[in-house]
């Protein structure tokens, strides 16, 4: 099946009624394919929407997938409900990789998310053409270089946006807002997301709210120090992974790899903080509450 046909089927399954023209002629850009962002080798694929089978058990399960792409299964987010009638909203864990620090000249080069409710099509990931060079220091961290992303095969953010919005709508619980979780969301991920939306003359949807798992980790560590006098520990994502004994494969600072880790970390943090659904939502902020990019 051709890539164009696969994308057409995906777009139809997400209910995108308006025509979406991918890869319009721009600086030599022509119709092309999507690139698998999970590995550094250059392989083509359609939009990275995958299936994950999850079970709420004491040990992690494994998804039904090709052995070359297996990742640890993620449990559905389990939080105490404040009332028996309370229904959780959609919780999406996401991560981005960028060309650099928080500045208007830098762009997103990779995006990944996972819906913590699990089930079919619970993940979405893609490389993104930043329409600029990737600095060497960014490549050293992510292993994503200019040659990899600045090519006709790679969609720009303006190309990804309509598909992303349709995907999120397809996962959204009826009548409920969407809660996005990222590590250092307030000072990095969300400002970059806002910037990319604005470059597309769009705003973050008003029913999207954000949780910064870094802030939750800081709150947890502070409570541990206060109650037991324990020495403060690092709360970056890798330190939290090691603290909770979470196994991981792949290169650090790749979007889906970090999403997979954060999905497990957020389970642990919310349990340790004894957060209810209401408590988690009370920790959320709007995009307008986040740090602004430098100009």
Give me the active site residues, please: 253
Contact criterion met (CB below 8 Å) for 90 and 171 = yes
Contact criterion met (CB below 8 Å) for 109 and 97 = yes
Q: How far apart are CA 7 and CA 20, in angstroms?
A: 11
Q: Nearest CA to 139 among 188, 100, 187?
A: 100
Q: Nearest CA to 79 among 163, 148, 181?
A: 181
- Report the first-to-last Cα separation within the chain, whole angstroms: 45
The shares of helix, strand and coil residues in the chain, as percent rounded to the nearest 5, are 35, 20, 45
CA-angle at 43, arms to 37 and 49, nearest 5°: 50
**What is the Cα gyration radius of the chain?**
19
**Local structure of 269: helix, strand or coil:** helix
Residue 253's CB is within 10 A of a number of other CB atoms, namely 18
């Amino acid at each position: 099946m051709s890539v164009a046909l696969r994308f057409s089927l995906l777009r139809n399954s997400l209910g995108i009624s308006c025509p979406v023209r991918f890869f319009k002629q721009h600086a030599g850009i022509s119709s092309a394919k999507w690139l698998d962002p999970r590995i550094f080798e250059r392989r083509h694929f359609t939009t990275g929407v995958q299936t994950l089978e999850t079970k709420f058990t004491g040990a992690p399960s494994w998804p039904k997938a090709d052995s070359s792409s297996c990742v640890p299964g993620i449990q559905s987010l389990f939080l105490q409900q404040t009332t028996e009638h309370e229904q959780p909203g959609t919780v999406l864990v996401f991560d981005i990789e960028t060309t650099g620090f928080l500045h208007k000249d830098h762009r997103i080069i990779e995006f990944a998310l996972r819906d913590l409710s699990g089930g079919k099509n619970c993940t979405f990931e893609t490389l993104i053409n930043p329409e600029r060079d990737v600095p060497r220091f960014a490549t050293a961290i992510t292993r994503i270089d200019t040659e990899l992303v600045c090519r006709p095969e790679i969609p720009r953010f303006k190309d990804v946006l309509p598909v992303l919005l349709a995907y999120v709508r397809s996962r959204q619980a009826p009548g409920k807002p969407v809660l996005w979780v990222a590590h250092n969301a307030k000072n990095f991920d969300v400002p970059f997301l806002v910037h990319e939306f604005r470059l597309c003359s769009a705003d973050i949807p008003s029913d999207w709210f954000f949780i910064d798992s870094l802030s939750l980790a800081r709150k947890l560590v502070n409570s541990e120090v206060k109650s037991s006098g324990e020495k403060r520990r690092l709360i970056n994502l890798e330190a939290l992974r090691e603290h909770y004994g979470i196994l991981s494969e792949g290169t650090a600072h790749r979007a889906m790899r970090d999403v997979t880790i954060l999905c497990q970390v957020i389970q642990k943090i919310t349990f340790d903080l004894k957060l209810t659904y209401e408590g988690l939502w009370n920790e959320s902020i709007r995009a307008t509450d986040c740090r602004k990019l430098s100009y």
